[in-house]
Amino acid sequence: MIDTPTTSEGSVTALATEFPPAATTTGPSARTRANRRRTVLAGARLGIVVVLLVAWQLSVDAKVVDPFFWGEPKGVWADLVDWFTVGTSQGSLGAQILVTLEEAVLGFIIGSILGVVCGIALGRVRLLSELFAPFLKAANSIPRIILGSIFTVAFGFGIQSKVILAVVLVFFGVFFNAFQGAREVDRNLIANARLLGASRWQVTRDVVLPSAFTWILASLHISFGFALIGALVGEILGANQGLGLLIRSSQNNFDMNGVLAGMVLVAVIALTAEALITLLERRLLRWRPPQTHGGAAVE
Amino acid sequence: MVSTRPTAGGGPVTPSSASLPAWLSRLHKTTGNAAIGTNDHKHSGAARPAPTVTPLNEEKGRGHMPAIELRNVTKKFATADGGTYTAIEDLSLTVEDGQFCAVVGPTGCGKSTTLTLISGLERPSRGEAFVHGEPVRGIDTSTGFVFQQDAVFPWRSVLDNVAAGPVYRGASRSEAAALARDWLRRVGLSGFEDRYPHQLSGGMRKRVALAQSLINQPRVLLMDEPFSALDVQTRAIMSTELLHLWDQTKPAVVFVTHDLEEAIALADKVVVITAGPGTVKAEFEIDLPRPRVVQEIRFDPRFTRLYEQIWEALRAEVAEAYDRTTRVAEVAS
């Protein structure tokens, strides 16, 4: 969240990073102070949310904002409660979330793996990059979301067309980062590995891949967002199930509260995924010095 | 969530704005151009100091095989503006088995390039490099290399770093780990096996690099200003330890440095390289007794005498190199 461009779901936590982490001076008093500071911060953030929601609701009640177009917090909440307790028009809410999640996660995993493999391969083999570079560059400049229409027609209303759209969206982000990462590997490290007896494949596996991983992981943060977008857009374009369809049918019924409730659910999913990716990152980049690594973006 | 940039410079590429600079920019990969004939030692003339110059360059009888031999090598690099840059020109150098050879010269004289030619990381544009009589055709894994900058793998623990060589050479993980532990003990890093390089001091990282290289028992050890990033005290200590380690396996060493004191303290032979394009200006036999303690050897009167002699040869080159940089600065301003 600090240096990756924030996607729609990022704005809330981005706020947190504006404040430098509390200075870690020694002694228990410093620690309690830091704890207190964190509590106050969390309270302040909650306050901001409450103020915004209340202001929204009050403007609706005062007839300044028309809830027909913009919805209202009470209505959104009512829809959420209704979906959770009674279920949606398409079946239980859990099933809808699971379908969308499945599409996004599958698309994310397949797209990331393809991106990493292709990026590293093209970064390592000059001929490949010379051969395919223009195509990939051209493909990247296409607004790929449009492909969703084709996939829906070609692969049907099921999960397949959404997964493919998510893969296409995820692939390029990961690919370009992996490619760049493979190109930027310290030449000394490669020379050292070669002199120590590593084969070309071993250099790729033991030097290029771990070195490019800092780049790749940076792209994964954004990529899950893309996977979700792919899944949702795919569902909006045509599906039997899923959160996208829920949003779409709310729109068709002029139920803006339903659209917004769907958005809230998607945001929760995105934030959870983001937290998981951060955990993965911490684990995989253990070897890095802490100063480039710290910071409390999600607590 | 957190900053994931590996190095300073451009940020992670976002797909929509990816502008692929690397696609188009030619890798500044060097292409060995055909050499243009130059036929004499430009710098080797008048001021060649007399005293202990020994002609080590010629082969000593039949069947004798020096550990390292550079025979009239020239190395040109293609520059970004389409020209060529001659790093070293017609350089010949011989290092015997078990000999510690230090190469000194001003900055930019192609000292490091000689090492890349011996190791096979680069091919000479003209002339040939030999290791144990065999022409160097590619990366030679019987050669150990210690780099100027850190080249240990930051994502591997100390133990895994040192064990890398044996694993690449086909040893089992457990054999390699046992061997690595032994070498970590020798370089004084027992107990640090599980640390990552960033958790170590600069001197300790150098020890890891040394162990990583020496564990493969190289017959030829190339060192490119290995201690230049260390503070003065650590440097002296590391130098003494290097001599101690070298004494255990006695590889032929080429040690590149710009520090003449370090060169004399360590080496059997000091080779002075001219300001670029580099070629051998003079060679000096260092007859100081071993074992040496680098921290104290400079008090030896013979050390001072040698220093004076070699400095005499080096001074003009350093001045020349310095002149060039200031001239460039004047032109630029």
pLDDT band at A89 (very low <50, low <70, confident <90, very high): confident
Asked if B13's CB is within 8 angstroms of A180's CB, the reply is yes
A284-293 CB contacts, 8 Å cutoff, 24+ apart: A284/A213, A284/A217, A285/A213, A285/A214, A285/A217, A285/B4, A286/B196, A287/B154, A287/B155, A287/B156, A287/B196, A287/B197, A287/B198, A288/A214, A288/B154, A288/B198, A289/B198, A292/B3, A292/B5, A293/B2, A293/B3
Phi, psi values for residue B218, rounded to 5°: -65, 145
**pLDDT for residue B26 is more than 60:** no
* CB of A1 less than 8 A from some CB of B: yes
More confident residue, A15 or A146: A146
Chain A, window 151-210: residues with a beta carbon less than 8 angstroms from a chain B beta carbon: 172-173, 176-177, 179-181, 183-184, 186, 188-189, 191-199, 202, 206-207, 210
How far, in Å, CA of A188 to CA of B115, rounded?
Answer: 13
> Is B28 domain-assigned?
no
- Count interface pairs A-B at CB distance under 8 A: 142
CA distance A62 to chain B (A): 39
Asked if A1's CB is within 8 angstroms of B1's CB, the reply is yes
Q: How many domains does chain B have?
A: 1
> Is B101 domain-assigned?
yes
ipTM: 0.76
CB A175 within 8 A of CB A135: no
| CATH code (residue B138) | 3.40.50.300
Right CATH number for A81-287 from 1.10.3720.10, 1.10.260.40, 3.40.50.2300, 1.10.420.10?
1.10.3720.10
Query: Which token pair is B298?
Result: 């400079």
Asked if A214's CB is within 8 angstroms of B15's CB, the reply is no
Pick the residue from chain B with its C-alpha nearest to A282.
Answer: B2
> Is B290 domain-assigned?
yes
Q: What are the pLDDT digits (tens) for B211-225?
A: 999 999 999 999 999
CB A257 within 8 A of CB A57: no
- Tell me the chain A residues in contact with residue B169 when contact means C-beta distances shorter than 8 Å: 197
Kindly write down the DSSP assignment for every residue of A11-30, as one continuous string: HHHHHHTTSPPPP--SSHHH
pLDDT band at A10 (very low <50, low <70, confident <90, very high): very low
How far, in Å, CA of B76 to CA of B218, rounded?
Answer: 28
> Is B119 domain-assigned?
yes
> Is B66 domain-assigned?
no
In 3-state terms, what secondary structure has residue A88? strand
In 3-state terms, what secondary structure has residue A91? strand
Asked if A196's CB is within 8 angstroms of B20's CB, the reply is no
Q: What are the pLDDT digits (tens) for B265-298?
A: 999 999 999 887 888 998 999 999 888 888 888 8
How far, in Å, CA of B117 to CA of A251, rounded?
Answer: 70
Q: What is the mean pLDDT of chain B?
A: 80
CA distance B303 to chain A (A): 34
CA–CA–CA angle B223, B292, B210 (5° rounding): 30
Cα distances (Å, whole numbers) of residue B151 to A9, A46, A296, B40, B198: 40, 48, 31, 37, 12
Q: What is the mean pLDDT of residues B107-121?
A: 88
Nearest to B14 among A222, A285, A295 (CB): A222
pTM of the prediction?
0.74
pLDDT band at B29 (very low <50, low <70, confident <90, very high): very low
Reference B309, options B275, B280, B283; nearest CA is B283
* CB of A221 less than 8 A from some CB of B: yes
Domain assignments of chain A as residue spans, ordered by start: 25-65, 81-287
CB A164 within 8 A of CB A151: yes
Asked if A295's CB is within 8 angstroms of B143's CB, the reply is no
Nearest to B23 among A137, A214, A287 (CB): A137
- Tell me the chain B residues in contact with residue A221 when contact means C-beta distances shorter than 8 Å: 1
- Tell me the chain B residues in contact with residue A214 when contact means C-beta distances shorter than 8 Å: 4-6
Pick the residue from chain A with its C-alpha nearest to B158.
Answer: A287
User: Residue length, chain A?
Assistant: 299
- Amino acid B43: pLDDT: 41
* CB of A278 less than 8 A from some CB of B: yes
Cβ–Cβ contacts within 10 Å for residue B193, how many? 17
> Is B317 domain-assigned?
yes
Q: What are the pLDDT digits (tens) for A185-200?
A: 999 999 999 999 999 9
Q: Which residues neighbour A81 within 8 Å (Cβ) at sequence distance 6 or greater?
A: none
**pLDDT for residue A35 is more than 60:** yes
